[in-house]
Chains A and B, each alone.
Chain A
């Protein structure tokens, strides 16, 4: 099967439309960011607290807000998380001025008190496996007391593990009858649980608390990592190809990053550390695409010295078109699977990559390559005797000499 055989598309014809689309997307992104009063930074960068809880019954965010407001924590909001039938909510609290307050515990305590947890009893939905094991061990329903050494302790540790593992599997215990289904646990333990444990109305899925100092650190470190790695790529391409190629590649990835972040703002997604990783991925991907096109340009420049650079570039894009579409399409498939099947945690990550692959592929053709042409034309204009220059770029591309011989241009 072959989809693109010997294409001769004149990509230059659509130049202005594409420049228009690029600018429109970038401007739209900036407008969206401005309308949202800046980027929506996740707590990794903004600091603050974020808790995800899973409830037994459909939770009422308004009611939860009512319970938490009086605590004076700087509650930012309570909203539904993931699909409605999962009964999950996300609680967000602003960053505190000082370190030291245990916001998560304050919220959990207030909620379990207000929503009818029994104080003093073991909450089988909230406690961890260690605490559960430690609560069961003194009662010793499995009669391990006579056993030597640590055997009793070990036994109840395994029991605690089994209980929490089952809870994780079903989400949370909804009624005492759920205890009966716990695998690998004796009836005596189940009976003990029914009698002594209460079932709190929720279980905690995740809690993140980022203090002011760390938020600031993460922000600056992520920035520096990105800036330095971009400069490193620029340096490598400048050495392997030419400085104008390097600049073209860097402009292309800046273009990709701006459009992607702009679109994330339009879709109202949060910028978290995971999104930063996704942006880095797309930068790598876009760079990969650009280098493939550049490589072909360099090769064609050697073998067809008489052609104008603009034509060489257009030919090179055509020659690599089949691979560009194949490669991007395949990676796109993986990311589509991630987007639809990856779950809530991976969703924004996958969305960023979806945007990134499209924009990154497009930018290698319409941003990175044209910049080299524009720069080259500008260079030629500055030189009065343009006859000799027309054949090839003034500086021969650096890099190892190759013995590739004839290339595939007809």
Chain B
């Protein structure tokens, strides 16, 4: 028996050490990743940070966004329509007006002179993702459902990437950016305490275009179009701006700019906050090789003309091109330092493929999180102390064994949670409490059984043996029932419910081990050596 016990002790020690190592290691990694830490972290910091705390405990921001996939459909419609218009010119299809419909739909007018065969062939070749039906003299084009699905998926994927790029620049440790369902994105930023700023940065589409100014600025639309006989030329468009670039409250002004952009945000290699010649906050950017070449050629031939810097469909500024510029430029126009900083950040991270809408936002300020965790820990420690004292008073020596098993249970739970990078939230603490409750219960079950056996006059050793074996099935039943239900909660629950389930599942597995295996080993060590143990301290 003593030999058997040695093997058991070794296994228990191994589990204990592995749990502690997993916890400390995870804490160490976490501290290392935290960028703001100025001092070299020690073991104390590692211990403090072993478990990733949820936003409700640590403070931070939780956002659920919805990608407006319709935006992507609209872009696709515009592109298909313009491609068709182009072919119309080249191949002389003689189709009439092209009118946009709902996102993912447009109509073309077909006349008696339209070359229908050629049109059909062109559609097949040029815009294969579109199907059409004839409604008299109009053909209604719609994106195929397959193309819609692919586009939506692509838009969401790209949005996740872009948001990740942006978030990475805040220096948030352990952000969560994940797609949920078809078009939703969950963003969790622990420790971030500026909800407004973060929301603006994430949501800003940051779509930058540099376009040639054909006419304007003018505060009056008709005056703007006077030179072009009152109509917007097909290759140009009207964009809004301010009459005084440096004053955001000055009256609106309109610019007539070329429809095609010289370069867009996609050509940007880097952007950083800087200052313009008058020492006002600005953003300077540099271009990738391809964009730089295009930009160089363009500015070289357009000296003296004005270049509109259009951000999210609004003219920021329209400086005169004084010289050939190839690979860099500056954007100014009444920025605060913070705004310049954030604009540079969004430009670096690229444009969003579609708009975002916030479905859910939760901000927990740093002080509330601090308060909850302080109080939660005090309460848990105090509760644990009460349990320990009661166990020792009621079950004496055996109660002390149970306390050891419970402590080990808690250590294993923390180690496993740390190892799998699980997050501890308030509902997680609930799971923890239920676990401890059930672990205590397992011990109580065993002890009561041992007492019953002793009352029947069994010897100490037999009583312990029988007590454990009889309580065993009950313990398995209670644990498996709860684990089975927790598995379903994990599978179908959301955030907090899931956190509860994870803690519970891990905790109960640990509890099975500690209550049945560890407790028994301690009893074996205590009563196994003496062949005829007279009494059990229970």
Interface residues of A (CB under 8 A from B): 1-2, 5-6, 52, 54, 99-100, 102, 104-105, 127-131, 134-135, 138, 154, 157-158, 161, 164-165, 167-169, 171-172, 203-211, 213-214, 217-218, 221-222, 224-226, 228-230, 232-233, 236-237, 240, 273-274, 276-278, 280-281, 283-285, 287-288, 291-292, 294-296, 299, 319-320, 322-323, 326-327, 329-331, 333-338, 340-343, 345-346, 349, 353, 402, 404, 407-408, 410
Interface residues of B in 455-495 (CB under 8 A from A): 455-456, 469-470, 473-474, 477-478, 480-482, 484-489, 491-495
Tell me if B370 and A169 are in contact (CB < 8 A).
yes
Alpha-carbon gap, A99 to B386, bound state (A): 48
Alpha-carbon gap, A349 to B379, bound state (A): 13
Question: Which residues of A are found within 8 Å of B199, using beta-carbon distances?
Answer: 102
Tell me if B197 and A343 are in contact (CB < 8 A).
no
Given A99-B359, A224-B492, A295-B473, are A280 and B368 neighbors across the interface (CB < 8 Å)?
no
Question: Which residues of B are found within 8 Å of A167, using beta-carbon distances?
Answer: 366-367
What per-residue 1/0 map shows which CB atoms of B391-403 lie under 8 Å from chain A? 1011010000000
Tell me if B367 and A54 are in contact (CB < 8 A).
yes
With both beta carbons as reference points, the residue of chain B lying nearest to A410 in the complex is identified as B456
A-B contact count (CB 8 A): 295
Question: Which residues of B are found within 8 Å of A226, using beta-carbon distances?
Answer: 489
Tell me if A2 and B488 are in contact (CB < 8 A).
no
Interface residues of B (CB under 8 A from A): 35-36, 38, 56, 59, 64, 66, 170-171, 192-197, 199, 337-338, 341, 357-368, 370-372, 375-376, 378-380, 382-384, 386-387, 390-391, 393-394, 396, 426-427, 429-431, 433-434, 436-438, 440-441, 444-445, 448-449, 451-453, 455-456, 469-470, 473-474, 477-478, 480-482, 484-489, 491-497, 500, 504
Tell me if B478 and A288 are in contact (CB < 8 A).
yes
Additional A-B contacts beyond A135-B337, A232-B487 (6; CB < 8 A) = A158-B36, A225-B493, A226-B489, A292-B445, A295-B477, A404-B469
Nearest Cβ on chain A to B424's Cβ, whole angstroms: 13
Tell me if B382 and A157 are in contact (CB < 8 A).
no
With both beta carbons as reference points, the residue of chain B lying nearest to A138 in the complex is identified as B337
Question: Which residues of B are found within 8 Å of A331, using beta-carbon distances?
Answer: 433, 436-437, 440-441
Question: Which residues of A are found within 8 Å of B445, using beta-carbon distances?
Answer: 292, 323, 327
Tell me if A291 and B494 are in contact (CB < 8 A).
no
Question: Which residues of A are found within 8 Å of B431, using beta-carbon distances?
Answer: 277, 281
Tell me if A338 and B195 are in contact (CB < 8 A).
no
Nearest Cβ on chain B to A73's Cβ, whole angstroms: 15
Alpha-carbon gap, A327 to B493, bound state (A): 28
* Among B455, B482, B487, contact of A284 (Cβ-Cβ < 8 Å): B482
Given A134-B341, A349-B430, are A205 and B484 neighbors across the interface (CB < 8 Å)?
no
Contact residues of A: prevailing secondary structure: helix
Nearest Cβ on chain B to A255's Cβ, whole angstroms: 17
Tell me if B481 and A288 are in contact (CB < 8 A).
yes
* Among A130, A334, A408, contact of B433 (Cβ-Cβ < 8 Å): A334
Question: Which residues of B are found within 8 Å of A273, using beta-carbon distances?
Answer: 427, 494-497
Tell me if B358 and A225 are in contact (CB < 8 A).
no
Question: Which residues of A are found within 8 Å of B365, using beta-carbon distances?
Answer: 168, 203-206
Given A274-B427, A338-B379, A341-B375, are A1 and B362 neighbors across the interface (CB < 8 Å)?
no
Tell me if A203 and B367 are in contact (CB < 8 A).
yes
